[in-house]
Chain A
Amino acid sequence: MLYLKAEKLDAFLARAAETRKLYVPVDSEPGRSSYREWTPGTAVSRGLHTTRSAKDFFFPQTENLAGFRVEDKKIRVIDPRAETEDFAVFGVRACDARSFGILDKVFLADPVDTYYENRRRHGLILSMSCRRPAETCFCKNFGIDAAEPEGDVRFTDDGDGWYLEALTEAGKAFLDPLADLCEDRDPAGAEAAKEKTREIVDRLPLNDLPVGKFGGGKTKELFDRPEWAELSEACIGCGTCTFVCPTCQCYDIRDFDTGREIRRFRCWDSCMYSDFTKMAGGNPRLTQKERFRQRFMHKLVYFPENNGGEFGCVGCGRCLASCPIHMHIVKVMKRLGEDENEQ
Chain B
Amino acid sequence: MRNKLVERAKELLADGTVTRVIGWKRGEFSYDVTPAVFETAEELEKDFVYDGFCGANVSKYLIRESAKEGKILAFLKPCDAFSFNQLLAEHRIRRENVYAVGIPCEGMADIGKIRSAGIDGVTGIREEGEEFVLSTLYGEERIAKKDALAERCLVCKSKRHPVYDELIGEEGEDLPDDARFEAVDKLEKMTAEERFQFWRGELSRCIRCNACRNVCPACTCENCVFDNPDSGLSQKAAADPFEESMYHIIRAFHVAGRCTDCGECSRVCPENIPLHLLNRKFIKDIDELYGAYRAGENAENKNPLVSFREEDAEPSVVHERGRA
- Over the window 48-60 of chain B, the binary record of Cβ atoms lying under 8 Å from chain A Cβ atoms (1 yes, 0 no) is 0000000010000
- Verify if A338 is at the interface (C-beta below 8 Å from B): no
Flag if A324 contacts B118 (CB, 8 Å). Answer: no
- Verify if B188 is at the interface (C-beta below 8 Å from A): no
Flag if A132 contacts B211 (CB, 8 Å). Answer: no
Flag if B236 contacts A269 (CB, 8 Å). Answer: yes
Given contacts A237-B214, A324-B267, contact A273 B138 (CB under 8 A): no
How many A-B residue pairs have C-beta atoms within 8 angstroms? Tell me: 124
Flag if A238 contacts B211 (CB, 8 Å). Answer: yes
Among A16-24, A30-38, A77-85, A152-160, the stretch that binds chain B is A30-38
Category for how many chain B residues contact A: 35 or more
Among B4-12, B25-33, B88-96, B168-176, the stretch that binds chain A is B25-33
- Over the window 219-241 of chain B, the binary record of Cβ atoms lying under 8 Å from chain A Cβ atoms (1 yes, 0 no) is 00001000101000000111100
Q: For A265, give its contact among B61, B115, B116, B237 (CB under 8 Å).
A: B237
- Which residues of B are found within 8 Å of A324, using beta-carbon distances? 56, 211, 214-215, 267-268
Q: For B207, give its contact among A243, A327, A330 (CB under 8 Å).
A: A243
- Which residues of A are found within 8 Å of B122, using beta-carbon distances? 135
Bound together, the chains give a CA A135 to CA B210 distance in angstroms of 26
- Which residues of B are found within 8 Å of A132, using beta-carbon distances? 120-121, 137-138
- Verify if A222 is at the interface (C-beta below 8 Å from B): no
Bound together, the chains give a CA A30 to CA B147 distance in angstroms of 14
Q: For A32, give its contact among B28, B29, B208, B272 (CB under 8 Å).
A: B272
Q: For A326, give its contact among B34, B120, B229 (CB under 8 Å).
A: B34
Flag if A275 contacts B270 (CB, 8 Å). Answer: no
- Which residues of B are found within 8 Å of A62, using beta-carbon distances? 237-239
Flag if A273 contacts B236 (CB, 8 Å). Answer: yes
Flag if B236 contacts A240 (CB, 8 Å). Answer: no
Chain B's nearest CB lies how many Å from the CB of A184?
32
Flag if A244 contacts B207 (CB, 8 Å). Answer: yes
Flag if B272 contacts A326 (CB, 8 Å). Answer: no
Given contacts A31-B118, A205-B28, contact A234 B36 (CB under 8 A): yes
Q: For B209, give its contact among A31, A32, A204, A239 (CB under 8 Å).
A: A239
Flag if A268 contacts B236 (CB, 8 Å). Answer: yes
- Verify if B117 is at the interface (C-beta below 8 Å from A): yes
- Which residues of A are found within 8 Å of B29, using beta-carbon distances? 135, 205
Chain A's nearest CB lies how many Å from the CB of B265?
10
Bound together, the chains give a CA A327 to CA B56 distance in angstroms of 12
Flag if B34 contacts A31 (CB, 8 Å). Answer: no
- Verify if B76 is at the interface (C-beta below 8 Å from A): no
- Verify if A200 is at the interface (C-beta below 8 Å from B): yes
Bound together, the chains give a CA A120 to CA B211 distance in angstroms of 30
Flag if B215 contacts A203 (CB, 8 Å). Answer: no
Q: For A29, give its contact among B28, B118, B272 (CB under 8 Å).
A: B272
Flag if B215 contacts A273 (CB, 8 Å). Answer: no
Flag if A206 contacts B116 (CB, 8 Å). Answer: no
Flag if A28 contacts B112 (CB, 8 Å). Answer: no
Chain A's nearest CB lies how many Å from the CB of B247?
13
Flag if B209 contacts A30 (CB, 8 Å). Answer: no
- Verify if A223 is at the interface (C-beta below 8 Å from B): no
- Verify if A309 is at the interface (C-beta below 8 Å from B): no
Bound together, the chains give a CA A278 to CA B136 distance in angstroms of 44
- Which residues of A are found within 8 Å of B117, using beta-carbon distances? 30-31
Chain A's nearest CB lies how many Å from the CB of B232?
9
Flag if B236 contacts A29 (CB, 8 Å). Answer: no
- Verify if A61 is at the interface (C-beta below 8 Å from B): yes
- Verify if B73 is at the interface (C-beta below 8 Å from A): no
Flag if B211 contacts A134 (CB, 8 Å). Answer: no
Bound together, the chains give a CA A31 to CA B270 distance in angstroms of 12
Given contacts A30-B116, A61-B207, A244-B207, contact A236 B239 (CB under 8 A): no
- Verify if B271 is at the interface (C-beta below 8 Å from A): yes
- Verify if A182 is at the interface (C-beta below 8 Å from B): no
Given contacts A275-B229, A325-B56, contact A31 B121 (CB under 8 A): no
Chain B's nearest CB lies how many Å from the CB of A338?
13
- Which residues of B are found within 8 Å of A268, using beta-carbon distances? 236-237
Flag if A134 contacts B120 (CB, 8 Å). Answer: yes
Bound together, the chains give a CA A132 to CA B271 distance in angstroms of 22
Q: For B270, give its contact among A133, A134, A244 (CB under 8 Å).
A: A244
Flag if B61 contacts A234 (CB, 8 Å). Answer: yes
Bound together, the chains give a CA A327 to CA B268 distance in angstroms of 13
Flag if A233 contacts B37 (CB, 8 Å). Answer: yes
- Over the window 226-246 of chain A, the binary record of Cβ atoms lying under 8 Å from chain B Cβ atoms (1 yes, 0 no) is 000010011011111011100
- Verify if B35 is at the interface (C-beta below 8 Å from A): yes
Flag if B268 contacts A238 (CB, 8 Å). Answer: yes
Residue of B nearest to A61 (CB): B237
Chain B's nearest CB lies how many Å from the CB of A75?
22
- Verify if B123 is at the interface (C-beta below 8 Å from A): yes
Flag if A238 contacts B28 (CB, 8 Å). Answer: no
Bound together, the chains give a CA A61 to CA B271 distance in angstroms of 15
Residue of B nearest to A267 (CB): B237
- Verify if A51 is at the interface (C-beta below 8 Å from B): yes
Across the A-B interface, the 4 shortest Cβ-Cβ residue pairs: A267-B237, A324-B268, A238-B211, A326-B32
A sample of 29 cross-chain residue pairs with beta-carbon separation below 8 angstroms, ordered by A number, consists of A29-B116, A31-B112, A31-B115, A31-B120, A32-B112, A32-B116, A61-B237, A62-B237, A132-B137, A135-B123, A204-B137, A205-B29, A230-B36, A233-B36, A234-B35, A239-B207, A240-B207, A240-B270, A243-B207, A256-B239, A268-B237, A273-B236, A274-B223, A324-B214, A324-B267, A325-B35, A326-B32, A327-B34, A331-B34
Chain B positions within 8 Å of A, measured between CB atoms, are: 27-29, 32-37, 56, 61, 112, 115-118, 120-123, 136-138, 205, 207-211, 213-215, 223, 227, 229, 236-239, 267-268, 270-272
